[in-house]
Structure 1
Amino acid sequence: MVPILALLGAGAVMFRVVEAASVFSHFMVQNSYSYAESDWQNDMTTAASIGIDGFALNIAAADYEVGQLVTAFSVAEQLGFKLFLSFDMSYTWESSDMVSIVQNHSDSSAMYTWNNAVLVSTYAGDNYDDSFWSGFKSSLSSEGITISLAPAFTDYRDPSLADSLLSDFSSIDGFFNWWSWPDDVDANLTTATDLAYQAVIKSNRTGPYIMSVSPWQFKNLGTSDTDWVELSDTLWYYRWLQAIQDVNPDIVEIVTWNDYAESHYIGDINPNVNLGDLAPNYVNSNFTHASWRNVAQYFISWYKNGSAPTVTNDQVVFWYRGWPKATSCSTGSPPRNSDFPVDAVFALSLLSSEATVGLYIGSNSFSWDAPAGASMGSVPFPSEDSQIPYIAISRDGNTTKSGYGSLYVQQSDCSYYNFNPYVGIVE
């Protein structure tokens, strides 16, 4: 094994200076059914503590979610936290309902604006033609509300379609590239899509280019179109570097805060959320992702300020799955792309100065000379059963910090195909 930093090439530590920018996290309002005001307060204060400016509120229907929006905006106003609406167009919407929801909150002090216009985004929506979107904007305009429409039209992923986006949808002002994982390939994600769509938006429209950054992608809900994993082993590291080095978007949107079923949540697992029948098989107290927020805090500061922050508290954030990918489980089928993930423990060090980081599990070990700041390494799963990783930071031959994971890697006894990682920290 080699340090993952080395795999990025010699230029990986050369970063352009960026202007101050905003960071939001995609928040599934569908999962707020049982929320009290205190739940909103906890999520918003936790997000703000790592530098997140606000939530993009994914709303799927004009039902209980409308009432939760009232609470969300009220709490956000008190906290100085920002929000914008992201209509989930994979559900059926009437334009009049969308107009009403925007009207309800357009004058809130918590509403995020872009160039003095209310920012509105989507998930999907390119199945609605341009007349739908121009009519939506016109209806709001007649009520004195100007919006900047930056949708995530998910069919527009191929870089060659960037010009077509603008000719097909003359009404949009910006664009949100939802795709923050590889596209069913055993290779890291590139920035080709980001750069192509950013270029056409910045040359022809006044809205923001929003880039998604995500730590993982796995879903296993029992049908062929809801069972998949994308190669995500080092995604939470290199995707942030892409945002800082290559793209410099107007807005970074973390996908997601609380979409538990797709395994890319960085918020705490709210015990009152109904996860349905199958997601609890891979989303439970053993699979918290809270320590991924430490990584986000470091890169958010870098992205906003144009230089890597000084680390004052040595730490290693690590993640790994509980079973090798070839393990046969008693229930269900292997997800699509199950051959892609590497059977390994991945570790991202955030150090105040150079140190040796050691990774140990069973008979396998790997160490690397980690520089100050961020770097990554990994150690393969061992052949022995029921092994747990041990991570150590050492300087001059002396161990300064160390710790274990809380989940054993098993070679058998798998009841459900689970590619959701355990995330831990040594600090």
Structure 2
Amino acid sequence: MPEPTQSLPPGSLEPQRALEHIRPSGIQETQGFGWNKEPESGSRVEFELEEVAERAVSTRKHVFAHFIVGNTYPYTVADWVADIKLAASQDIDGFVLNVGGDSWQKQRSADCFAAAKKLSTTTKFSLFFSFDMTSIPGSAATDVQFLRDYITPNYNSGVMFRQPATNHIVVSTFGGEYSTFGQGSMESGWAYLKSELNKITPIFLIPAFFISPSRLPSIAAIDGAFNWDGGWPIKLSASSPRNEIVNAALDSDTDYIRALTHGARSYMAAVSPWFFTHYGPNTYNKNWMYRGDDWLFVRRWQQLIAMRDHVDMVQIISWNDYGESHYIGPIEGAQPNSHAWVDGYPHIAWLYLNRYFMKAFQTGTYPAITKDQIFLWARPHPRDASSPDPVPRPTNYQLTDDVAWMVVFATAAATVDAYTTNTNKVSFAVKAGMSKLSFPLLADGGMKAVMVRNGAVVAECNPTTYRFESRPGVYNFNTLVAMSS
């Protein structure tokens, strides 16, 4: 039976209205497809230069990065200290520690808590757990003990994140819709789990169940929900119409917000820069991608900023999930056999790009742009290139385009010149503010961007190791991300 049509509560925003509620002082969006000329008529150009007098309610919001503890086998406390310092330096509020069924992950988590406590006098940084219920057993009542063993030693550490309104520690999951904890149903199972953990300390349960949002109101135990898939256009396929592929809709938030509003529950949204995984059937048998084009990371942030009154927390997916290519932290630790498409493809520049938009979500106001800066990313080979790779092209590889994506921050009007060779150039006139730009890649070429003002170079991004390889050794739909100094 179809669900009845419901309206969002007064003051809500549909996702497509990103930028209408909060916006920086300048935005330009341009795609260039010609050389040595200004963008032609028909290019996508959007200017939003007026100041907005009314902004969203400036309640402080929290943003966390999803951290795969399963990739930290060789980590020491010093490694955790370094990661926490780096994340905190970019104003991320904390890590969501994804823990699975491996027993050694308990000690690595303990090391993370030790590192956070060590830094707590100078660095405010919080932690909470996301239990990977695809790996952790949850069929018997005794399986509660696994989760209890993580909560008990850490709940009173002083660094566990507590939901501000209730002061309860936050607990999340990846999956869990099949977990019953011996109670006969998912709903009663999680009620039992919560009652058991509440004996230790009150918890604020905000899981990522992979179910229809329409079921959420019937799950009494939850205090909210995390929309794990909300940051990617997961409904697209190779047969989708082109007009649905470009600037693909990210429109699942509304269903969650409607469902959670009935119980005044919290909504945690996802933001992610990319998704590509390339495991053959002899390993994890995961080989697909989502379209990360059209400045996905930036567009998703703009959308969440526009609807921040209805989003309580955001989780960045991810800090270190190398297997799915959406890491924004450094490449370190123990990769899950993903070296073929990760090594040599740093994403750390996304961490620095993230801060501008994240701060706008956290505070309700975009930071001032005080430095000319260029961010640039692209895939390593043409979409249709052939490779001797025994693992075939990923499912839905046809969704991506052979384009370099660029975001620039300009303190004043300037020209941005983008190169794929020394002679192939496309130029963009940008105004003060943030601009989203793009240009086509050239087989066996590179990528470089220069910002010029009054005849002087004020920013340059030149990833010299990058080459758009026409004959790749493996199918790699990851991306190299670079930034100006």
- For the residue of structure 1 that corresponds to 2:253, the secondary structure is helix
Residue 115 of structure 2 is aligned to residue 60 of structure 1: no
Identity over aligned pairs, percent: 31
Whether 2:191 is the aligned partner of 1:130: answer no
Q: How do 1:30-109 and structure 2 match up within 5 A?
A: 30-61=70-101, 63-80=103-120, 81-93=125-137, 94-109=143-158
Structure-1 residue corresponding to 2:276 = 218
2:296 is aligned to: 235
Q: Which residue of 2 aligns with 1:199?
A: 258
1:118 to 1:4, Cα distance in 2 relative to 1, 3 A: farther
Measure how far apart 1:310 and its partner are: 1.0
Equivalent residue for 1:346, pick from 405, 415, 421: 405
Per the alignment, in what secondary structure is the counterpart of residue 226 of structure 2? Answer: strand
Q: 1:149 to 1:306 in 2, by over 3 A?
A: same
State the partner residue of 1:172. 222
Larger displacement relative to structure 2 (352-361 or 118-127): 352-361
In the alignment, which of 472, 479, 483 is matched to residue 414 of structure 1?
Answer: 472
Structure 2 matches for 1:306-321, cutoff 5 A?
A: 306-321=364-379
Cα separation, partners in 2 of 1:62 and 1:410, compared to 1, 3 Å: closer
By how many angstroms is 1:401 displaced? 2.5
User: Which segment drifts farther, 371-380 or 395-404?
Assistant: 395-404
Distance 2:466 2:290 in 1: 23
* Distance (Å, rounded) in 2 between the aligned partners of 1:177 and 1:151: 9
Contact 2:322 2:335 in 1 (8 A): no
Residue in structure 2 matched with residue 116 of structure 1 by the alignment: 167
Asked if the contact 1:292/1:423 (under 8 Å) is kept, the reply is yes
Distance in 1 separating the partners of 2:267 and 2:150:
23
Structure number with the bigger relative contact order (C-alpha 8 A, sep ≥ 6) is 2
The 5 Å alignment of 1:366-377 reads: 366-377=426-437
After TM superposition, what 4+ stretches of structure 1 lie above 6 angstroms from structure 2?
Answer: 10-15
**CA 1:212–1:416 in structure 2 vs 1: closer, same or farther (change >3 Å)?**
same
Partner of 1:287: helix, strand, or coil? Answer: coil
Secondary structure class of the residue paired with 2:252: helix
Q: Within the alignment, does 1:25 sit opposite 2:83 as a pair? A: no
Q: CA distance change for structure 1 residues 153 and 125 in 2, over 3 Å: closer, same or farther?
A: same
Contact 2:65 2:319 in 1 (8 A): yes
Asked if 1 retains the 8 angstrom alpha-carbon contact of 2:466 and 2:480, the reply is no
**Counterpart-to-counterpart distance in 2, 1:297 and 1:163:** 33
Is 1:150 the equivalent of 2:206?
A: yes
TM-score, structure 2 length as denominator?
0.80
Q: Does 1:268 align with 2:330?
A: yes
Kept after mapping to 2: 8 A contact 1:393/1:400: yes
**Partner letter of residue 122 of structure 1?**
T
Matched letter for residue 292 of structure 1: W
Alignment partners' CA distance in 2, 1:8 and 1:63: 52
CA contact (8 A) 2:373 2:408 kept: yes
Q: CA deviation at 1:288?
A: 0.6
Contact 1:357 1:370 in 2 (8 A): yes
Q: Which residue of 1 aligns with 2:21?
A: none
Deviation of residue 10 (structure 1)? 6.2
Rounded to whole Å, the distance in 2 between the matches of 1:12 and 1:177 is 32
Query: Which amino acid in 2 is paired with 1:84?
Result: F
Tell me which moved more, 308-317 or 358-367. 358-367
**Residue pair 1:176, 1:211 contacting (<8 A) in 2 also:** yes
Contact 1:365–1:379, Cα closer than 8 Å, also in 2: no
Query: Secondary structure of 2:397's match?
Result: coil
**Alignment partner, residue 244 of structure 1:** 305
- Cα distance change on mapping 1:88 and 1:266 into 2, 3 Å: same
Is the Cα contact below 8 Å between 1:118 and 1:148 reproduced in 2?
yes
Q: CA deviation at 1:425?
A: 1.0
Unaligned segments of structure 2, at least 5 residues: 1-28, 33-42, 138-142, 180-185, 237-244
Kept in 2, the 8 Å contact 1:322–1:407? The answer is: no
Further displaced range: 185-194 or 309-318: 185-194
For the 8 Å contact 2:62–2:313, the answer to whether it is kept is: yes
Q: CA deviation at 1:356?
A: 1.8
Shift of 1:132: 1.5
Q: Describe the superposition over 1:378-426 as per-residue Cα deviations: whole angstroms up to 9, x where unpaired.
A: 11012xx421112110123443232422334344331110011011112
The answer (yes or no) to whether the contact 1:367–1:377 under 8 Å persists in 2 is no
Structure 1 residues 336, 16: closer, same or farther in 2, change over 3 A?
A: farther
Residue 159 of structure 1 is matched in structure 2 by: none
Question: Which residue does the alignment assign to 2:383?
Answer: 325
Matched position secondary structure for 1:339: helix
Answer with 1 or 2: which has the greater Rg.
2
Separation in structure 2 between the aligned mates of residue 274 and residue 317 of structure 1, nearest angstrom: 25
> Residue 282 of structure 1: CA displacement?
0.6
The Cα offsets for residues 308-351 of structure 1, whole Å up to 9 and x where unpaired, read as 11122211010011101000011121101111111011111022
**Consecutive unaligned residues in structure 1, runs of 5 or more:** 157-161
Bigger shift: residues 351-360 or 26-35: 351-360
Is 1:3–2:65 an aligned residue pair? no
Q: What is the identity, as a one-letter code, of the residue corresponding to 1:38?
A: A
Letter in 2 for 1:172: I
Amino acid at match of 1:86: S
Q: Which moved more, 1:60-69 or 1:401-410?
A: 401-410
Shift of 1:4: 5.5
- Quickly say closer, same or farther: Cα 1:280–1:175, change in 2 above 3 A: same
